[in-house]
């Protein structure tokens, strides 16, 4: 059993995973109302070791191991939130969030609308493929909740955003689903500010400025978009990479500003294509930016199947840098 919470010194690089752990640790220290719930998050430290050492530091009443009953412990967390606590619930894998769908969409999302109740709940949802987890451990379920008024959805793509968005989510009075991409956990590193900071919910971020094509994306796909932008720059095409960071509420102003500047748009996400967030953004561009478009809005997403377990099939299933480059060349020539 490990006993140390993830700690780093000033100027030291941290991974995406460690940034999440730091945010939890700092918020638990700052606000005694913050507590954690989830499967195996206590002595074991969670499936991905994000809460390693937390139970020894904060005690069993603030780091609660739960039964394998997502509907039950999410319901308990909603009740605690309504009584003034600030629970952070961990879904071991985002796929399992479906077991708590009723509690999230019918209780947490609607309570403020029905009677003005604050529900300061955060649900951490490790999502996405690229780790060979198969159809039950690799899903991108953000589209399910995109249609549920009352929820906020965030999906950071960098260690800086991962820490800042989680701290903002914990301090928010609304229920927030925090989608953290498993593929990024140990693949990204950054030096984070020593001082306390948040990343505001509802604000997108231009990860690479450009003038010719806008790529609107989030999560792990941001890094594929940046790779494709580097390839296209060698061909004289400057692609702007817009990281949504927040899926609800969408930063429509930044989306429209980018597309009105470049006149061409690619929408990229890892979730299945049909009915995904890209479809809504495409509709928004058709309604509000039609006069600015010089080509069709192109969506790049996964096929409408479950995530394959087979490594070659998963690689085929997931969007690739080459897909973005091919779409960009098509748009550039349009």
Domain match, 186 and 212 both: no
What is the number of structural domains in the chain? Answer: 2
Q: Facing residues of 216 across strands?
A: 242, 267
323-327: Cβ within 8 A, 24+ apart? 324/215, 324/224, 324/225, 324/227, 324/228, 324/266, 324/268, 324/300, 325/228, 325/231, 325/232, 327/266, 327/298, 327/300
* Residue count (the chain): 334
Domain stop point among 167, 191, 215: 191
In a domain, residue 7? The reply is no
In a domain, residue 83? The reply is yes
Domain that holds residue 115: 13-191
Q: Sign of dihedral through CA atoms 305, 222, 15, 66? A: negative
Domain match, 267 and 136 both: no
Q: How far apart are CA 104 and CA 106, in angstroms?
A: 6
pLDDT tens digits, one per residue of 171-216: 999 999 999 999 999 999 999 999 999 999 999 999 999 999 999 9
Locus of tokens 């006993």: 3
Q: Can 223 be counted among the known catalytic residues?
A: no
Q: How far apart are CA 132 and CA 294, in angstroms?
A: 39
Q: Which residues contact 278 (CB under 8 A, 6 or more apart)?
A: 216, 267, 268, 269, 299, 300, 301
Domain match, 169 and 214 both: no
Strand pairing report for 176-181 and 152-154: parallel
Domain match, 42 and 151 both: yes
From 6, 112, 132, 137, the catalytic residue: 137
Q: Show the tokens assigned to 134.
A: 């198969």
Give the HSE-up count for residue 243: Cα atoms under 13 Å, Cβ half-sphere: 23
Domain stop point among 191, 225, 248: 191
pLDDT tens digits, one per residue of 44-65: 999 999 999 999 999 999 999 9
Q: How far apart are CA 38 and CA 229, in angstroms?
A: 39
In a domain, residue 6? The reply is no
In a domain, residue 57? The reply is yes
Percent of the chain with pLDDT over 70: 98
In a domain, residue 239? The reply is yes
DSSP classification of residue 156? -
CB atoms within 10 A of CB 187: 14
Domain match, 89 and 147 both: yes
Domain match, 131 and 253 both: no
Q: Which of 6-10, 76-80, 172-176 has the lowest mean pLDDT?
A: 6-10
Domain match, 159 and 234 both: no
Q: Kindly report the pTM of this predicted structure.
A: 0.95
Q: How far apart are CA 85 and CA 3, in angstroms?
A: 26
pLDDT tens digits, one per residue of 263-293: 999 999 999 999 999 999 999 999 999 999 9
Q: How far apart are CA 334 and CA 143, in angstroms?
A: 30
CATH of the domain at 237: 3.40.50.920
Instruction: Give ∠ CA 237-240-245 in degrees, rounded to 5.
Output: 155
């Amino acid at each position: 059993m490990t006993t140390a919470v993830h700690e780093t010194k000033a100027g030291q690089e941290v991974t995406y995973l460690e940034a999440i752990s730091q945010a939890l640790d700092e918020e638990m220290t700052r606000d005694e109302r913050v507590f954690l719930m989830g499967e195996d998050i206590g002595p074991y430290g969670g499936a991905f070791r994000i809460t390693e050492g937390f139970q020894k530091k904060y005690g069993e009443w603030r780091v609660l191991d739960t039964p394998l009953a997502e509907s039950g412990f999410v319901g308990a967390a909603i009740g605690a939130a309504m009584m003034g606590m600030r629970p952070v619930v961990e879904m071991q894998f985002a796929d399992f969030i479906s077991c708590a769908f009723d509690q999230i969409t019918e209780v947490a999302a609607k309570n403020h609308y029905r009677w003005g109740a604050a529900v300061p709940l955060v649900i951490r949802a490790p999502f996405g493929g690229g780790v060979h987890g198969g159809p039950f451990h690799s899903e991108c379920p953000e589209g399910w909740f995109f249609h549920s008024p009352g929820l906020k959805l965030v999906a950071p793509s960098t260690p800086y955003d991962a820490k800042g968005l989680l701290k903002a989510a914990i301090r928010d009075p609304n229920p927030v689903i925090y989608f953290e991409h498993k593929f990024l956990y140990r693949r990204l590193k950054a030096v984070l500010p020593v001082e306390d900071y948040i990343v505001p919910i509802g604000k997108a971020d231009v990860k690479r400025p450009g003038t010719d094509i806008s790529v609107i994306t989030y999560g792990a796909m941001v890094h594929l978009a940046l790779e494709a932008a580097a390839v296209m720059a060698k061909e004289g095409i400057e692609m702007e990479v817009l990281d949504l960071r927040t899926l609800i509420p969408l930063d429509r102003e930044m989306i429209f500003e980018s597309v009105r500047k470049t006149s061409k748009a690619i929408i990229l996400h890892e979730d299945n294509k049909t009915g995904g967030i890209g479809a809504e953004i495409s509709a928004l561009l058709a309604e509000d930016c039609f006069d600015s478009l010089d080509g069709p809005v192109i969506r790049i997403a996964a096929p409408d199947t479950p995530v394959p377990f087979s490594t070659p099939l998963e690689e085929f299933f997931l969007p690739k840098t080459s897909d973005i480059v091919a779409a960009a060349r098509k748009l550039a020539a349009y």
